[in-house]
Amino acid sequence: MVGVILANTGSPSSPDPDDIEKYLSEFLMDERIRQLPKPVWKWLVTRKILPKRKYSSAKRYCFIWQPDGSPLLAQSRALAGKVQGLFDADRAPSGTIESDEAVVVRSAMSYGSPSIAEVLTDFRNAGVDRVVLLPLYPQSAYSPTMAVVDSFWRAQDQIGWHPDSTVIDNYHDDAGYIAAIVGSIRNVGFDASAGDRLLLSLHAIPLKDEAAGDTYREQIAESVELIANGLGIDSDAITVAYQSVFGNDPSKWTAPLSRDVLASWRDDDFRVVFACPGFLVDGLETLYDVPNEMVPALEGEAAKPVVDHVGTDIQSACNTSGRFVWVPSLNASDEHAALIKAIIEARL
């Protein structure tokens, strides 16, 4: 039996500041995230960062929280369920799968619950003898991709179980992934010939990681070239920028920042089609940052949301003139489930 883990960063169990503090303390102390020597960083996190950030982050999480909890957790569970359904359909009498090997699909998080260790324990109890780990980050980076991989190996040591394991650490050039992103951009009416400007916003990484050999931006460039080919435009017509910088010194992170690019376009009259091809499942980076930071950067402070809670409906929170066009995340769509299944099958 094969166990598949669809892994993501994680989420607090609630938007309560105490739950946020618990989650952030685990996240920020990860070796892949830590930015200073451990003793100094631990002091800074516990004494300076967490006492303030748990309250500011609580407001952000309250803005996106759903009746069934964290959007990231809910959509990740739903995606795993759909991928499971596709594998189950293949094993049905009318299916096409040649092997009788069962596949069990679960979602897990690097930080918070469900943890990778919890899912591995369930797999062991279910009789799984082979595990495939797929971090849901198309372009691999030291953080967060390798943080997920680290968690995977640590979890195996923690529970004392080391099954045959396969790690799929990126799929930035996968044909299904590229087709899904291209289709999403087309679906919102992107028209380069009419003057639309396409901005792809990805998670920033520390420059120190790049200096250490991280090929994240090289993978992004390959993805962009393929997306441009799919759209029938030159890759130079696509603007790539970055978001979600941590700390007070953006100069130490990949640039340009998405909000700076948008601000520089404020006085222009073209439409901006804004997509996040590295954030395939909605979280703070999309549901909060897009209406609260990206739209106002382009359209001014008056475009900030007039509500303090939006759930998952970004468009209702964006008081825009129509210049800012959001490309929805793939989330638990049928297309996303199909491309994830195809990526896994290629390794089985």
Q: Domain segments of the chain: what residues?
A: 175-326
pLDDT of residue 153: 96
Q: pLDDT digit string (tens) for 252-302?
A: 999 999 999 999 999 999 999 999 999 999 999 999 999 999 999 999 988
Q: Is the peptide bond before 114 cis (omega within 30 degrees of 0)?
A: yes
> Per mean pLDDT, which range of 66-80, 81-95, 124-138, 173-187 is the poorest?
81-95
Share of the chain above pLDDT 90, in %: 76
Sign for the CA dihedral angle at 65, 70, 22, 49 comes to negative
Does pLDDT of 84 surpass 50? yes
Q: What is residue 193's predicted lDDT score, i.e. its pLDDT?
A: 94
Q: Max Cα separation, the chain?
A: 61
Q: Which amino acid is at 228?
A: A
pLDDT value at position 94? 47
What is the average pLDDT across 178-198?
97
Q: What pLDDT was estimated at residue 261?
A: 98
CA distance 3 to 59: 36
Measured distance between the N- and C-terminal CA atoms of the chain, rounded to whole angstroms: 11
Q: Is the pLDDT of residue 306 over 80?
A: no
Domain 175-326 has CATH 3.40.50.1400: yes
